[in-house]
Amino acid sequence: MVDRPNKPSALVSTPGLPPQAQVTISHNNSRVSAVLPTGDSIEVLLHGATVISWKDSSGEERLWLSEASALDGSKAVRGGIPLVFPVFGTAPDHPAVGQLPQHGFARITRWEFLGKSTSEAASDSVKLDFGLSSENLDDKLRSQWNYKFGIIYSVTLERNSLSTSLVITNEGDEPFEFQTLMHTYLRVKDITSLQINNLENSPYVDKVDNLTSKTQDGPVTITSETDRVYTPAGGPKVPIVVADASGQAVYSVVRDTLDDVVIWNPHEAKANSIGDFAPKDGWRNMICVEAGAVKGWQRLEAGDAFEGAQVITPGPL
């Protein structure tokens, strides 16, 4: 093509189309970033397909990330949105996953970036797709969990929300069981002045109190180490709302198919005992609201698929 330095502007860009999201791959092909024309942005580490940053249009960071977290692929990320699969915690009494590391392998394995999709009609939205399959696992992990599977993880950034969704497919000839969870660390100004609503009258397992089964009475407040697995009484469509002292919503989390919600905050003593938790008083500025399917086991027959998703909508910090 002949170089035409004074070519008409119509040859430079197509008129009428709004500005589109900009997607870049950086850090030696280890991170994918997206920025909307509005200024909203996300950054995803291919190690674990972990969302490590979500900023609104004003540049306010919405996810909490430990200052001591490893971002070089050497271990799971402390903060952001790590993915749990195929086991929540450890399950030594469940032979199929008994040898796997805590929270499984999805968060410690490199995923593939499958590409982006945008809509010409909606310039304030971008979807990034990531993939993980049996072929991505190393020999040790494959020997510990020898099932054929495929996962498509989609991260969708919109002007006023962040959506994450999983499609897990059994690509083998035999069924398998699994648990999964989106371990979301939300950034807050002061956890001691917040409460979590819409878990009232919900049954939960208190992991800090010897796995005792309890029922939530009133809003959830954080006054000590908190690690609870709720099955919200209102079901997945009722939002879990993190609210400030005035009742203003700071975050709203709506789930699809994911019936359980883990609420976690280490508080002072536990935070001090976690090596990669920094700063040590960072527990004041985070709350984990984790959408998942972790009570019991999901069973996938050969060829079947499981879908789960969450949508996080922020309010003023």
Assign domain 23-314 to a CATH class.
mainly beta
Domain range annotation of the chain: 23-314
Positions marked catalytic: 183, 290
Paired tokens of 203: 């049954």
Query: Each residue's pLDDT tens digit in the chain (317 positions)?
Result: 344 444 433 334 455 667 889 999 999 999 999 999 999 999 999 999 999 999 999 999 999 999 999 999 999 999 999 999 999 999 999 999 999 999 999 999 999 999 999 866 567 899 999 999 999 999 999 999 999 999 999 999 999 999 999 999 999 999 999 999 999 999 999 999 999 999 999 999 999 999 999 999 999 999 999 999 999 999 998 999 999 988 999 999 999 999 999 999 999 999 999 999 999 999 999 999 999 999 999 999 999 999 999 999 999 87
Per DSSP, the three-state class of 14 is coil
**Would you say 255 is a known binding-site residue?**
no
Peptide bond into 86 cis (omega under 30): yes
| pTM (global) more than 0.85 | yes
**Would you say 102 is a known binding-site residue?**
yes
Pairwise CA distance, residues 22 & 1, whole Å? 26
**Phi, psi dihedrals of residue 88, rounded to the nearest 5°:** -95, 120
Region of 101 please: left (phi>0), alpha (psi -120 to 50) or beta: beta
- Give CA separation, 184 vs 135, 213, 262, 293, 302, in Å: 27, 23, 10, 14, 30
Per DSSP, the three-state class of 204 is strand
**Would you say 78 is a known binding-site residue?**
yes
- Give CA separation, 133 vs 3, 48, 175, in Å: 45, 12, 16
313 DSSP β-pair partners: 252
Q: Which amino acid, one-letter code, is at 129?
A: D
Q: DSSP assignment of 17-75, as one string?
A: PPP--EEEEETTTTEEEEE-TTS-EEEEETBTTEEEEEE-TT--B-B-B-TT---SSSS
Q: Containing H/E element for 182?
A: strand 176-182
